[in-house]
A and B are shown apart, each in its own frame.
Chain A
Amino acid sequence: MLLQQLVNGLTLGAVYTLVALGFSLVMGVLGILNLAVAELFMLGGYVGLGLMLDGQPLLVGLAAAALVTAVLGVVVERVAYQPLRNAPPIAPLLSTLGFSVIFQTVATNVWGSDPLLLPAELMDHRYALGSVSVGQAQLVVMATAVGMVAALALVMRHTRFGTGLRAIAENRDVARLLGVPAALVTSGAFALSGAMAGVAGVLIGLHYGALTPFVGVEVGLKAIAVMVVGGTTSIWGVLLAGPLLGVLEVMTVAFGGAAFRDMTVYGLMILTLLLRPQGLLGRAGGAQRV
């Protein structure tokens, strides 16, 4: 049972990692906690899975989810972030929270509160490794989490867009003087963050076989904890903290009970903030941006 629980924990960690990436890109680079990411993740799931239920292949579902949530990410940036860029940090935070509530309400009105159920046979195949059983969807979620972290790190390190983002993070005005199109790059960050959340929504919906409009809150808060533990300025930190919190959560439920689950997860987040505020892989002072 212990090994199976480990697999459960790693899968859950991968789920948190996927969503945390959406938070991490904007938070780590621009210093903004975009709370709407949690609901973009949920909306992406509905768009992608809805198309798959209509007979479209997985790739079409993923592409459509990424496109819709990228556009919505830009809408959030234009309405909730740009006009409040020079306001105290609480202002854009609350503004994105407002978007989060609106997105959830829209989803409830469009798709209803009942779970959106996928056909049970979708990605149903399981691989038996001794006493441990791993599902096809679990493998896809774990592989995508690793792949997306690596891809994002590459984008941040080796592309003009990534360099521009890091320059804006250091000093927006200087970056503009150096020719970085700050407004465009910032919009790109929100779009990429939204697209990643949307893709995560589809894959996670596939894994669990069901989706509700309320899934964003629960997963979103855990993803924020993952981002904090991993280090808000470190994208690779998310890949370490996600599985760590996933396994911690699953083991707590299995051997201590679900009542203690959130206590351990958020307890670790508070401990991290107290003892190592930069997170596991972050650097003090926020100098590291990848």
Chain B
Amino acid sequence: MTFSRRSLLAAPALLLARPALSQARFAGLEVKLGAIVPSSGPFAEWGRANTVALRMVEEQVNAGGGIGGARLSIAIYDDAARPAQAANLVRKLADDDKVLAIAGPLTSSACEVAFPVANQAKLVACSQASSKPGTAAANRPWAFRNTIDEAVLMKTALPWFKGAYSVDSVAIIYDAKDANAVALGSRIMPEMLKEQGIRLLNEGSLATFNTGDIDVSAQVTALKALNPAALVVAADYSQAVTVLREMRRQGFIKPIIGGTPLISSAILRAAPEIPVVSCATYYAGQQGEKVQRFTNALQPRLRATAGLPPTIEPSMYDAHMVEIVGMYSDAVLRGGLTLKPADLESDREKLRAHLEKLSGYEGLSGPIHFAPSGDAVKVFFTVVGQNGSWTEKVRGCSTSGSLTC
């Protein structure tokens, strides 16, 4: 596999806003970062793609002269989306690998267990995907998420969904073994539906299924009998595919709204005629020079990687990973770090402080800040997936206080 010099040099431009790369004050030193991704288990696709994205950044940054002359090295470990494994890996990265900061873990369930360990170790951990409300806020000051709370996203997506599809009633189905899905399906959506004046037809007996179930025929038959105008599906895409396929099989064609984990190319193929509304901070096919450069650089690498589908597209979580490494690099350059092994503890603290007051960092879709909750303040899009592609409908910002996009 060969890549042009232009694509090799694309990532530093994506990652490092300023100062210029030519500065070599860290020559001979190393920026050692850690990453926790689920390269095996049910979210292996996401984890493996994350790994490819991280290796691409590592290669491109080093080819471009490193971070202020320092070589970038990323230690990537697989947590298989298991919370206990993620917590152990945080400890290993902190004590054995002596990394400056961690990118990950991916799932909210893993973050809920791993973030307290990161706090204990005084090591920044920034999740690329967790969006369950309050997961970073409960683990301040060392926990961050380059994601937006699902409740914040739904404040924009739900009113648009209601208007676009004339939704006056819905029914909810969610994955009862997925922390993010449980929060969205059982707490966030029932409250927000009430606020929007949308009737919840299965209030009191919300439909559920469990991660790994292949048969949801009973749930879909029961939902169909309620005859809602639309459906809320709170699950990650690999589980939601089962629901969509069953809906299609039973001739139950209704618009769907759900959280960010729905965004995937697989969901587009499951039932192309069913409109799926969700939110994203990046999606394949998104327009914009920086975004397209990222897509064009990563997509061929993903498709050439064994164990990933030949039709795979970069995901929002790959974009988040690249941004996280970019923000850490920004901290190295502008946060007063020394990168000397003896200063590791104070460098970790300086990096944390830099993220807390992050300003002037340009992500793929716009500037990124961190709210006091530890969640990202950034641009997001309400998108509709139908007939094989995602279409942007509304653009929003997860504004927090004076912080905005």
Q: What is the interface of chain A, defined by CB distance below 8 A to chain B?
A: 1, 4-5, 8-9, 11-12, 15, 105, 108-110, 112-115, 117, 120, 124, 126, 133, 135, 204, 208-210, 212, 214-215, 217-219, 249-251, 253-254, 257-259
Known: A5-B221, A12-B215. A114 touches B249 (CB 8 A): no
B44 within 8 A of A: yes
In this complex, which of B176, B249, B306 has the most chain A Cβ atoms within 10 angstroms of its Cβ? B249
B15–chain A nearest beta-carbon distance, Å:
28
B160 within 8 A of A: no
Q: Give bound CA distance, A115 to B265, whole Å.
A: 11
- Which residues of the partner chain B approach A8 to less than 8 Å between Cβ atoms? 215, 217-218, 221
- Which residues of the partner chain B approach A249 to less than 8 Å between Cβ atoms? 218
List 14 other contacts, CB 8 Å, given A208-B245, A210-B242. A4-B221, A5-B222, A8-B218, A15-B215, A105-B40, A108-B41, A112-B308, A112-B309, A113-B44, A114-B238, A114-B266, A117-B241, A250-B218, A253-B218
Q: Give bound CA distance, A212 to B245, whole Å.
A: 14
- Which residues of the partner chain B approach A5 to less than 8 Å between Cβ atoms? 218, 221-222
- Which residues of the partner chain B approach A257 to less than 8 Å between Cβ atoms? 205, 208
- Which residues of the partner chain A approach B41 to less than 8 Å between Cβ atoms? 108, 113
Closest residue on chain A to residue B266 by CB atoms: A114
Q: What is the interface of chain B, defined by CB distance below 8 A to chain A?
A: 40-45, 48, 176, 205, 207-210, 212-215, 217-219, 221-222, 225, 238, 241-242, 245-246, 248-251, 264, 266, 269-272, 306-309
A258: which of B40, B219, B270 is its contact (CB, 8 Å)? B219
Q: Are the C-beta atoms of B309 and A120 separated by less than 8 Å?
A: no
Known: A12-B215, A115-B241. A1 touches B225 (CB 8 A): yes
Q: Are the C-beta atoms of B212 and A210 separated by less than 8 Å?
A: no
Closest residue on chain B to residue A204 by CB atoms: B214
Q: Are the C-beta atoms of B214 and A208 separated by less than 8 Å?
A: yes
Q: Are the C-beta atoms of B242 and A208 separated by less than 8 Å?
A: yes
Can you list 11 A-B contacts (CB < 8 A)?
A4-B221, A12-B217, A108-B40, A112-B44, A120-B248, A120-B272, A124-B249, A204-B214, A217-B212, A254-B218, A257-B208
Closest residue on chain A to residue B238 by CB atoms: A115
Closest residue on chain A to residue B209 by CB atoms: A258
A135–chain B nearest beta-carbon distance, Å:
6
Closest residue on chain B to residue A209 by CB atoms: B245
B212: which of A9, A204, A218 is its contact (CB, 8 Å)? A218
Q: Are the C-beta atoms of A1 and B222 separated by less than 8 Å?
A: yes
Closest residue on chain B to residue A114 by CB atoms: B45
Summed over the interface, the residue pairs from A and B with CB atoms below 8 Å come to a total of: 111
Q: Are the C-beta atoms of A113 and B42 separated by less than 8 Å?
A: yes
Q: Are the C-beta atoms of A117 and B266 separated by less than 8 Å?
A: yes
Closest residue on chain B to residue A218 by CB atoms: B212
Q: Give bound CA distance, A129 to B171, whole Å.
A: 26
Q: Give bound CA distance, A249 to B215, whole Å.
A: 10
Q: Are the C-beta atoms of A210 and B213 separated by less than 8 Å?
A: no
Q: Are the C-beta atoms of B213 and A218 separated by less than 8 Å?
A: yes
Known: A105-B40, A133-B250, A210-B241. A250 touches B217 (CB 8 A): yes
Q: Are the C-beta atoms of B266 and A253 separated by less than 8 Å?
A: no
- Which residues of the partner chain B approach A209 to less than 8 Å between Cβ atoms? 245, 248-249
Q: Are the C-beta atoms of A254 and B221 separated by less than 8 Å?
A: yes
Known: A208-B242, A219-B214. A254 touches B222 (CB 8 A): yes
Q: Give bound CA distance, A210 to B216, whole Å.
A: 13
Known: A120-B272, A209-B249, A217-B212. A112 touches B218 (CB 8 A): no
Known: A117-B266, A120-B272. A253 touches B212 (CB 8 A): no
Q: Are the C-beta atoms of A113 and B45 separated by less than 8 Å?
A: yes
Q: Give bound CA distance, A88 to B133, whole Å.
A: 50
A110: which of B225, B238, B307 is its contact (CB, 8 Å)? B307
In this complex, which of A1, A117, A214, A249 has the most chain B Cβ atoms within 10 angstroms of its Cβ? A117
Q: Give bound CA distance, A283 to B210, whole Å.
A: 36
- Which residues of the partner chain A approach B45 to less than 8 Å between Cβ atoms? 112-114
Closest residue on chain A to residue B311 by CB atoms: A114
List the 7 closest pairs (A to B, CB-CB), nearest first.
A113-B44, A8-B217, A253-B218, A250-B218, A258-B208, A254-B218, A209-B245
Known: A115-B266, A210-B270. A1 touches B214 (CB 8 A): no
Q: Are the C-beta atoms of B217 and A112 separated by less than 8 Å?
A: no
B307: which of A1, A112, A126, A210 is its contact (CB, 8 Å)? A112
Q: Give bound CA distance, A201 to B176, whole Å.
A: 26
Q: Give bound CA distance, A4 to B217, whole Å.
A: 9
- Which residues of the partner chain A approach B225 to less than 8 Å between Cβ atoms? 1
- Which residues of the partner chain A approach B249 to less than 8 Å between Cβ atoms? 124, 126, 135, 209
- Which residues of the partner chain B approach A126 to less than 8 Å between Cβ atoms? 249, 251
